[in-house]
Each structure stands twice: as structure tokens, then as C-alpha cells.
With several copies, the nearest count.
Chain A
Amino acid sequence: MTSIQIPSRIAGPYPRSEEDIAARVKALEALMIEKGILTTEAVDRVSAIYENEVGPQIGARIVAKAWTDPEFKQRLLADATAACRELGAGGLQGEDMLVVENTDTVRHVVVCTLCSCYPWPVLGLPPNWYKYPAYRSRMVREPRVVLREEFGLDVPDSVEIRVWDSSSELRYWVLPQRPAGTDALGEEELARLVTRNSMIGVGDPDRPAS
């Protein structure tokens, strides 16, 4: 009485407990170290980059600059990769970026239905919900329901929703609209209003404290 056997190319059953996985990874790591492919220093340095350095605060800074510098905004929309490089942002999974601009009539939202492509250099590593099946399956099929019920964003039918499925190596992200009542704020204060979700397209920037 076996349940459905699904084959894997990997010898033995696929490990699932935390301890099994940790042992498997450690074994793989050890073999890669012995073969000169990996070092523990590499693991420390790479993970530190995405833990401490690269994250949505980088995208937020770029958005804030675009809100305050019309010429930069023009460059950002024309060639996001080059404009981001001006501010020192770029790298793996952001080699070719495109920024799409929300307006009064169009809202953009980004998904990757086939895997979990995401512009790491400006948004950091994606949150789990972005990577898991529910978001990937539903966002292209029922964007208004997802935005309303899952993200609390009620987009009126008069506003077009354009969903960007990141199926190629182009990495899309969203330039949200500048919130009202922020005329007096400088770039740094504006950047603090820009949320990760607003650059994925599933949220709005925060409003300024009144």
C-alpha cells in the first residue's frame, strides 16, 4: 500500500524535515567547498549583501529621486538599468530593468507566473507570498480581486490594471504615484514613504504623517 510514487532524479526520497534538508545542504556545501566552487566566506558575504545592503530601500530612493527630479524620471522610464546605475543600483536579476509608471488611468502590477523573477538589486529578495503558488496563479486571472481582498487596494473599474508577467529576463517594477500632500518633503523623507509593495504594484506609498 504505497501512496503515489513520484520519481525524482535525485536518489532517495526528497528530504523534507528541517534536519534532513539542513544535512543535505551541508553535504552539498561540503562537496562544493572541497571542489573549490564555494567557501564559507562566500556564503557569508553573499548572504550579507541581501540581508543588510540590497533591499527595497534602494528602489525607494530611486522612486523618490524620480518624484523630485523630472529629468531623472525621464531617464528612469527610458532606460531603468542605466538610471539605476547612476545611483549605484544594479546586479544579479537586475541586469535589464524596466520601470512602468502608474498614472491616474493605469495601474501596473508585477508577477512571475512561471517562477519568481523579481528585480533583486532594487527590491531585494522577494517576499514569500510573491514566490508561492497563490499569488502567481491568481494575479494574472483576477487582479482586482487579489488587490482588493489580499492587499486592501480597491482599484475602481475606471482605472486600467496592467499585470506584468516577468516571463523574460527583463525585470519590471513600478513607479508609484507620488502621494498628495508631499510637496514640502525632500527626497529622503519621500523615500521613507515608498513601500516595497508599492513598487511591486500591490500597494500605494505610505501617506505622510499629518
Chain B
Amino acid sequence: MNGVHDLGGTDGLGPIDPKDDEPAFRSDWEKAVFTMLPATLARGFYNLDQIRFGLEQMPPGDYLTSRYFEHWLYTIESNCIRTGVIDPDELDQRTRHYRLNPDAALPEGGDAAVATLVETVCRMGASARREIEGAPRFSVGTRVRVAADHPYGHTRRARYIRGKTGVIDLVHDAFVYPDAAGNGLGEDPAFVYTVRFDAAELWGPETAAPNSSVCFDVWEPYIQAV
């Protein structure tokens, strides 16, 4: 989808103002939200690409102004509701309870195996790399153009590279295809390539930074040789 999340090259977002020494989490709720991600991914309720698609569907004004873990909350919540893991009415009811009683305790206990599972997911990860039949269609040095169309679902084809021409710099293994997995259409793995685009191709010679390029990873269906 053409969302405001697709920020590459958008102007007007203001200064970056980098800070050092920020804490990993700023509150207990951030820790809980963070842990919900590996916990639910481990259980297979949805996949990482669906989590990303959920982020993208956050109302644009909220997306641009809320904090990072609010984005996570949004997508975990909407994905859990979508998949029936959580009942929205129950969630609303429980939210009112904790809003009125902020110090009310969480339910106790639970299986000790849960913590071990979630910790294992964090420590081991889960690669999206897949073995597939066949060989990559393109090789290093091939000039390719990225498809210029505008799908409605989840995609990793940023708008700023659509229709643009670059050169393949790296050929990788096959990985889960986000345009399938993010839209609930299976893994459909495809080869991934790093395509290097001259800044002038992306932004035009007048505003492009001199002597610079962007390396962008594409899945094979995104590109055609030119």
C-alpha cells in the first residue's frame, strides 16, 4: 500500500536531533509490548510481514506522531483481534478495569515454559531464508528496473524506487516473499537482490547528493532486466 509509513524521500519531517544514551525501554508497558512480539510470533498467530502490514495501517496522523512502541501496540492488537486471539470487547472491558485501577495486579502464574520459549526466540531468531528450486534469474552487474505499479496490500517496494533503474550489486539466497506472506498468501519465497541506485536516478540530478547511491533489497518479482 502507498502509506505514509513509506517515508523514503518524504520532505517536511523536521530535524533528526539524535540523542545518545537512550534507555531500551522507557516504561513497563514498553517492555510488555516488546515481549508480546516474540511471544505471539512464536505461537504462529501471524508472521512478521503481517506485523509490518499492521504497522502500515495505523491511521496516518497517529503513525507520524506517536511513539515507536505505540506502533507495536497497534499492530499486535489489531493482528490479535484479526486472528481471533483476542476478543475486542473483552480487551475494551479489561482496559477500562485497569484504567480505573492502574495498580490492580496482572493474573498470576502461567507455564514456566512460556518464558523459556520467548527467550529462545529472541536468542535464536527465525530466519526468513528458504531453500527453493532453481537459480536466480539475474546476476551481479545486471541493470534492472523496479516495477512501477501500486499494489494495495503489503509490499516492500518503496515508492521512491518504483520505476527506477539500478544495477544488481549482490545476489542473495531466497527469502519469504513479503508481498505474499504479509497478505496471508503463504511464504512463496523468492531470490533477493541488492540493487544499487544512483542518487541522481532516484531524485533527479538537481537535488541528488553528489557521488552517492542507495542500496535497496528487492525480491525477484519486483524487477525486470532493462
- Given that A4-B1, A91-B125, A143-B212 are known contacts, is A28 also in contact with B15, CB under 8 Å in the complex? no
Q: Which residue of B lies closest to A195 (CB)?
A: B20
A18–B121 CB distance below 8 A: no
Q: How large is the interface on B (under 10, 10 to 19, 20 to 34, 35 or more residues)?
A: 35 or more
Q: How far is the CB of B210 from chain A (nearest CB, A)?
A: 5
Number of A residues near B (Cβ < 8 Å) is 100
| 8 Å CB contact of A163 from B16, B59, B119, B214 | B214
Which A residues lie within 8 Å of B207 (CB)?
1, 141-142
A114–B158 CB distance below 8 A: yes
| 8 Å CB contact of A33 from B60, B78, B106 | B106
Within 8 A of B (CB), among A154-174: 157-170
- B80-112 vs A: 1/0 string, CB under 8 Å? 111001111111101111110010001101111
| 8 Å CB contact of B17 from A28, A129, A158 | A129
Which A residues lie within 8 Å of B91 (CB)?
24, 27-28, 31
| 8 Å CB contact of A37 from B15, B39, B124 | B39
B209–A38 CB distance below 8 A: no
Q: Which residue of A lies closest to B51 (CB)?
A: A115
- B residues neighboring A (CB under 8 Å): 1-2, 5-20, 22-29, 31-36, 38-40, 43, 52, 55, 57-62, 64-68, 70, 73-74, 76-78, 80-82, 85-92, 94-99, 102, 106-107, 109-112, 114-115, 117-119, 121-129, 150, 152-153, 156, 158, 160, 170, 172, 175-176, 192, 194, 196, 199, 202-203, 207-219
